[in-house]
Amino acid sequence: MNTITLSSNPALSEALTLQRQTYLADPVPDYAQRRADLLKLKRFILDHQEALCDAISADYGHRSRHETLLAEVYPAVSGIDHILSHLRRWMRPQRRSVDWRSFFGASNRVVAQPLGVVGVIVPWNFPLNLSLVPLSYIFAAGNRAMVKMSENSRHLAAYLITHMPAYFPPEKLRFFDETGGVGVEFSKLKFDHLLFTGSGQTGKAVMAAAAQNLCPVTLELGGKAPAIVCDDFPLKTAVERILFVKLLNAGQICTTVDHAWLPVGKVDTFVDMARSLAVTRYPSLSSLDYTSIIDQRSFERLLAALEDARSRGARVLSLLDGPAFDAATRKIAPHIVLDAPPDSVMMQREIFGPILPLRTYSELDEVISCINSGPRPLAVYPFSYQNDKVQYIIDHVMSGGVSVNDALFHVGQHDLPFGGVGDSGMGHYHGHEGFETFSKMRPVFYQTRLSSMRFLWPPYGKFAEGVLKFLIR
């Protein structure tokens, strides 16, 4: 196999060469090997969970420990358990039918085989989840992996680089920090598959670089995922569920509720309920349960988006008493924004922060038309107990995934594929689809000792003519 790369980074190229060579020496690890890899990955998480929480919090400035346990440690551990319970069946060759008229006695199989070496480019918002969950499927499929962490995950990257080698040798798994230009060179490597999670703009650059090697990519991007609250749904329940998701990780989630649509006349009640709820959950900005914005640039971007909306006539409402933000800790209070103009920064770009614009509608088709006029979102969240309304939204709004009467949690279902569509990404992982993404689902045809196709060998004559008439009818 050709191991030539376009990277000018010797460490990356050497790591890929080593992993490619060891893959070629043992291209199809058996069930026992894969199970052992998954158990070692789980053991690493359990052995180091508190230190991992501390490292991620250090990268954020402050990250709620409970949020890290809930959104990163638990999904990784429970995901491995799910894979282990299904792996033997996933690895089993699949029987496929044969056209008996022309291939009598032959058989077909689809065999899941490892691709080889998989590259993973990890964002900063859920750096443990978005590195170790993909790794669990990469290892389940029998591959080796190189993982490039974000420049905003320096403490976590250093910890993984230091401690992971005690569990996995470099020919199986390597982590890399972003020290300047590493991501660009990483995406130029001739991987057998490349998984990228991040912004659409960076995703385009990664895909362009991978295309030079004809390297297949899975892109998990983002977008403006809407919640659509229908008239029949209890408003208090909608507020409770939407705010939990919106304020988790201070809104820094690609599948959070970007904005919410409400029936005309329900905005004031929604705001009142949201104020009461936010103060109960986060009494002040100093709450240890409330996470900081990742870096100064993101902090200033969010404040600028609020100011842009305010200057254009929008009502900007902080949901907590006291200051709207704390520059020292990079915390921004939960905000609701009303009447933001469609061309404001907040309504044009993914927010990625604790800011929830509310929009109103009279007819459901208004919402559908507005969503469909923009890029396809990574998720859509209909809130209704009327099945026909929910199905109408699902049928008429294409998105990467859907959570009904809640938000985000389709991502947490281990047996559902996760992925975007259009501008929000391509490809899937999680579940059986994750195993297949990192496998070559290889078709294998088994011919019989006596091939029926011998009756169609040239020179063609009357007998071949008769056979073809029998087949084509």
The residue to which tokens 């705010």 are assigned: 243
Task: Provide the CA 103 distance to its chain's centre, in angstroms.
Answer: 42
Q: Which helix (H) or strand (E) holds 197?
A: strand 193-197
Enumerate the H helices of 261-405 as residue ranges.
267-281, 296-311, 345-348, 364-372, 387-396
Half-sphere exposure of 392 (CA within 13 A, CB side): 15
Q: Out of 53, 215, 230, 254, pick the active-site residue.
A: 254
Task: Kindly state the tokens that stand for 205.
Answer: 């650059």
Q: Out of 220, 230, 350, 436, pick the active-site residue.
A: 220
Whether the Cβ atoms of residue 167 and residue 135 lie closer than 8 Å to each other: no
Answer whether the bond into residue 75 is a cis peptide, omega within 30°: no
| Burial environment of residue 227 by CB neighbours within 10 A (0 to 12, 13 to 18, 19 or more) | buried
> For the chain, how many residues are written?
473
Q: Quick one: which of 151, 161, 181 has its CA closest to 7?
A: 181
Q: Is residue 254 flagged as an active site residue?
A: yes
Q: Is residue 215 flagged as an active site residue?
A: no
Residues 6+ apart with CB under 8 A from 37: 29, 139, 168, 172
Q: What are phi and psi of 426, to 5 degrees?
A: -155, 145
d(CA 172, CA 85): 23
d(CA 46, CA 346): 39
Pairing of strands 335-338, 355-361: parallel
* Residues annotated as part of the active site: 220, 254
